[in-house]
Amino acid sequence: MLTVNKHLPAARGLAPALVQRAATVSLDWDTRSKSRFDAHDSAGRHLAVFLPRGTVLRGGDLLVAEDGSMIRVQAAPQAVLQVRACPAHGTATDLPRAAYHLGNRHVQLEVQADYLQFEPDPVLADMLRRMHLIVTEMEAPFEPEAGAYGEGGGHGQHGHDHGHGHAHAHDDHHGQGHDHSHGH
């Protein structure tokens, strides 16, 4: 068993080529939000992860093992509900309204420009469908917001220069089921 006790958020300061050569470990959100867990990396090694309490791992972070080897964290696809505005009947405020209602319920929420994602909850899915939003069940990586007081104030993907020269590519191969009705 290989002990891991060092965390480098977003692999900051390391050459991309070095990070790409690292073994990977694919973890769901529940595991990435724990500071102590066991896992197996892509090299087949059994990892015993011991990080400071409160550490949250994000896809793209790097772990360093006691032997100096590096392990790149990947956000594993998991069951999520993806919420999108209805293109036929929606308005520009539909997703912000949905985020407001989900936030009032303290739901761990991933916020993207054209969709929201959260872990499955049939009661919340029904509420959103009644708001005429499209709710689709799928398997996808889940990276919820850290919150206003969390590290980086969001996904932790960039520093605080706000140059916004970065691109946030996101795999958008998901099906577009339209499973709500309109009484208009």
Please report the domains of the chain, with CATH numbers, ordered by start residue: 2-75 (2.60.260.20), 77-141 (3.30.70.790)
- pLDDT recorded at residue 147: 73
Residue 129, pLDDT above cutoff 50: yes
In what helix (H) or strand (E) does residue 137 lie, and over which residues does it extend? strand 133-140
- pLDDT recorded at residue 114: 95
Q: What are the tokens at 159?
A: 């520093």
Looking at every residue in the chain, the average pLDDT score rounds to 85
Exposure b/e, 66-93, CB count within 10 A at least 16 = b: eeeebbbbbbbebebbbbbbeeeeeeee
β-strands 46-50, 36-40: how paired?
antiparallel
Q: What is the pTM of this model?
A: 0.77
Averaged pLDDT, 103-128: 97
Residue 60, pLDDT above cutoff 50: yes
Signed CA dihedral, 182, 102, 35, 69: sign only: positive
Question: What would the pLDDT profile of 18-30 be if each residue is shown by its tens digit?
Answer: 999 999 999 999 9
| Nearest Cα residue to 22 out of 73, 62, 70, 64 | 70
Are 136 and 179 in contact, with CB atoms under 8 Å apart?
yes
**pLDDT above 90 coverage of the chain, percent:** 78
Residue 160, pLDDT above cutoff 50: no
- pLDDT recorded at residue 89: 87
Residue 158, pLDDT above cutoff 60: no
